[in-house]
Amino acid sequence: MKKLVILVLTLISINSLNAQVNETNEYVEFDDRKNVVHGVYIGFGGHYGRMDSEDTVLATFKLAYVANRQLEVGFAFTGFYNDRPNTQPNLFDGNKVLLVGGYGGFHVEPILFGDRFISISFPTLIGGGLVTYRGIDTLENENIELEDKDFDSFFIVEPGINILYNFSRYTQLETGVRYRFTSDYNLSPFKSKDNLNGYSIIVGLKIGVFNMGRKKKIKDKF
């Protein structure tokens, strides 16, 4: 009986040792095809374009959620500015007239090849904004009070195309082109009817986490 017990214990020990040796080559692999990768980021971008036949600088801020590196949804906000000589000193103070405004709205961006270093996306913004013309001296005067009649609103749809550079899971560079389709605004007597349609080029940086929930191979510890 004693010999039988010793034999059983010996077999158990050998089997346990063999399992430990094989453990180094055994992994649990998850099915990545069913694994949805989430992401969220804040983005900053600079644009150059033309509005009202003048060179214009634009700056954009975005906050978005990224689903499986295939689709972004969120919100985007853009401010813009240009200037030109003041040809109507009876209306504006100073030697320059500034076109100033901003717009924002819902941002959606389908992405192709999102798991590669270079990918392509098609961003679109749908929203609205405000625009005004001001004399440079007026804007520099801290005591001036602007009224509702000094502004006009507009509706905007801004589609585009981007090339995205995925430097890491935390940073992404975007370069691209946009085109603004806007409704008309009316700021008479300086500008009776016009729009802000036109192209712009953009360079931007996205900072966040783009692959939360991504599963990896791990050792079997069971």
| Mean pLDDT to the nearest integer, 130-146 | 75
Instruction: Give the per-residue pLDDT at 52.
Output: 86
Give yes or no for residue 60 having a pLDDT over 50.
yes
Burial 28-48 (b: 16+ CB within 10 A, else e): eeeeeeeeebebebebebebe
pLDDT band at 14, cuts 50/70/90? low
Q: What is the pLDDT of residue 109?
A: 97
Between 24-38, 63-77, 198-212, the lowest mean confidence (pLDDT) is in 24-38
Give CA 205 to chain center in angstroms: 8
Give the whole-number percent of the chain exceeding pLDDT 90: 54
pTM, full prediction:
0.77
145 — pLDDT class (breaks 50, 70, 90): low
Dihedral angle computed from the Cα positions of residues 62, 67, 68 and 72, in that order, rounded to the nearest 10 degrees: -40
pLDDT over threshold 60, residue 184: yes
Mean model confidence pLDDT for the chain: 82
CA–CA separation, 169 and 117 (whole Å)? 11
DSSP, res 32: G
Domain 31-219 has CATH 2.40.160.20: yes
- H or E element, residue 119: strand 118-121
- Residue 158's beta-bridge partner residues? 125
For residues 208, 105, 58 and 100, what is the CA-based torsion angle, rounded to 10 degrees?
-140
Q: Which of 4, 134, 160, 19 is nearest to 81 (CA)?
A: 134
pLDDT category at 91 given cuts 50, 70, 90 is confident
> DSSP states of 201-216 as a string?
EEEEEEEEEEEET---
pLDDT value, residue 24: 45
Q: How far apart are CA 185 and CA 106, in angstroms?
A: 21
Q: Which helix (H) or strand (E) holds 10?
A: helix 2-23
